[in-house]
Amino acid sequence: MTLANAMLVFRKDWLEIKRNMQVIAPIVFVPLIFTIILPLIVIVVPTVVGMPGTQFQFVGTLFQSLPPDVRAAVAGMSAEQSMIYVFTLYFFAPFFLIIPLMASSVLASDSFAGEKDRKTLEALLATPLTDGELMLGKILVSFLPSMAVTILAFALYTVVVDLAAYGIFGGVLLLPNLLWIALVFGVTPTVALAGIGVTVIVSAKVKGYREAQQLSAILVLPILALIFAQIGGAVFFGPLMILILVAVFAAIDVVVFMIGMRLFHREEILMKVL
């Protein structure tokens, strides 16, 4: 197996993907919701409607579940400041896991199962490229753009939050901080790889892009569970949670890639199309 051949597959797939609006649209628009719309709602709405006097009154039970160090951090803040601080720095963090997951599963569905839809698989499988080169090329084309989108989304989120909160916090910049850097560079790669691994498995068993994408969408469920668990006070997105997520997703990556590599055989893939 050579990296040059894997990169050949990567470049070909990337050329196709960037000309496919069906794939590019969700990868561009979903991050825009999380990076611009959500933080602006949290920052602008309290300013417009006016916050109640007591700082924990508005968010009630949500704030009661905060860890002591976060409570201490917001202790001296106004209701508006504390709400923006907690939401933008902690509660929105799990949403950022949806970006690499969504992007990687959309890209992997197109790259792996899309070849079946477009009936391009047979000629590709007739080339001397090995199964390993094909798989690595397709993993790269799913992983690298997913990570690029996630990092760009993080940069945009940082700018939006800092710009919007700059005046409210008297010139203090909220982002980037260590927690978010660990989230973006530590957790999201493992999440993206999990998305790709599951999509590889699903793609080997389905006949086309849509089916692969629909089945891969179930990956969002654990992230949604995490978001609701945080809202309910069961978990909190802090350093411990980051470590747990890295460990859990790394374990998932190992398992799904072992299964995926076992399933990724040119003959098996082609037989599913016939």
Partner 1 sequence: MGVSRALAVKATDLTRRFGNFLAVDSLSFEVEEGEVLGLLGPNGAGKTTTVRMLACIISPTSGSATVAGHSLCSDPIGVRRSAGVLTENPSLYERLTAVENLEFYAHAYGISDSERIRGRIRELLEFFGLWERRGEKVAVFSKGMKQKLAIARALVHNPPVLFLDEPTSGLDPEAAKLIRDMVVELTERERRAVLLCTHRLEDAEKICDRVMIISRGSSKIVGSPDELRVRMAGSPKLEVRLRGSSDGFVSCARSMPSVRGVEHKDGTLIISADDVQAVTPQIVRALVEAGAEIMSITPSIPSLEDAYLKLIKEGAGQ
User: Could you tell me which residues come within 8 angstroms of residue 72 by beta carbon, excluding any fewer than 6 positions away?
Assistant: none
CB of 43 to partner 1, least distance (A): 40
Distance CA 64, CA 44 (A): 23
b/e per residue 196-228 (b: at least 16 CB within 10 A): bbbbbbbbbebebbebbbebbeebbebbeebbe
Tell which positions 62-81 bind partner 1, by CB under 8 A: none
Whole-number minimum distance, CB 126 to partner 1, in Å? 4
270 in contact with partner 1 (CB under 8 A) = yes
CA 165 to chain centre: 24
- Residue 216 CA to residue 197 CA, distance in Å, equals 10
User: Cβ(65)–Cβ(93) under 8 Å?
Assistant: no
Piece in contact with partner 1 (CB under 8 A), picked from 5-13, 185-193, 221-229, 231-239: 5-13
49 touching partner 1, by CB under 8 A: no
Pattern 89-128, partner 1, x by CB under 8 A: -----------------------------xxxxxxxxxxx
Between vectors from CA 179 to CA 176 and to CA 183, what angle results, nearest 5°? Answer: 95
Write out the binding residues for partner 1, residues 239-268 only, by CB under 8 A: 266-267
Please select the residue that binds partner 1; options are 1, 20, 240, 255, rule is CB under 8 A: 20
Question: Of the listed pieces 7-15, 49-57, 184-192, 195-203, which binds partner 1 according to CB under 8 A?
Answer: 7-15
Piece in contact with partner 1 (CB under 8 A), picked from 16-24, 72-80, 175-183, 201-209: 16-24
Question: Strand, coil or helix: what is 57?
Answer: coil
Q: Are 113 and 211 in contact (CB under 8 A)?
A: yes
Q: Which is nearer to partner 1, 55 or 203 (CB)?
A: 203
Q: 49 vs 123, which CB is nearer to partner 1?
A: 123
121 to 160, contacts with partner 1 by CB under 8 A?
Answer: 121-130
Q: Which of 19, 48, 54, 171 binds partner 1 (CB under 8 A)?
A: 19
Could you give the CA distance from residue 56 to residue 259 in angstroms, rounded to a whole number? Answer: 48
Question: What dihedral do alpha carbons 97, 99, 100, 105 form, nearest 10°?
Answer: 120
- Structural tokens at position 248: 């859990």
Span of 8-16, 47-55, 64-72, 255-263 interacting with partner 1 by CB under 8 A = 8-16
CB 120, min distance to partner 1, A: 5
SS3 142: helix
For position 15 contacting partner 1 by CB under 8 A, the verdict is yes
| Site of interaction with partner 1 (CB under 8 A) | 5, 8, 12, 15-16, 19-20, 118-130, 266-267, 270-271
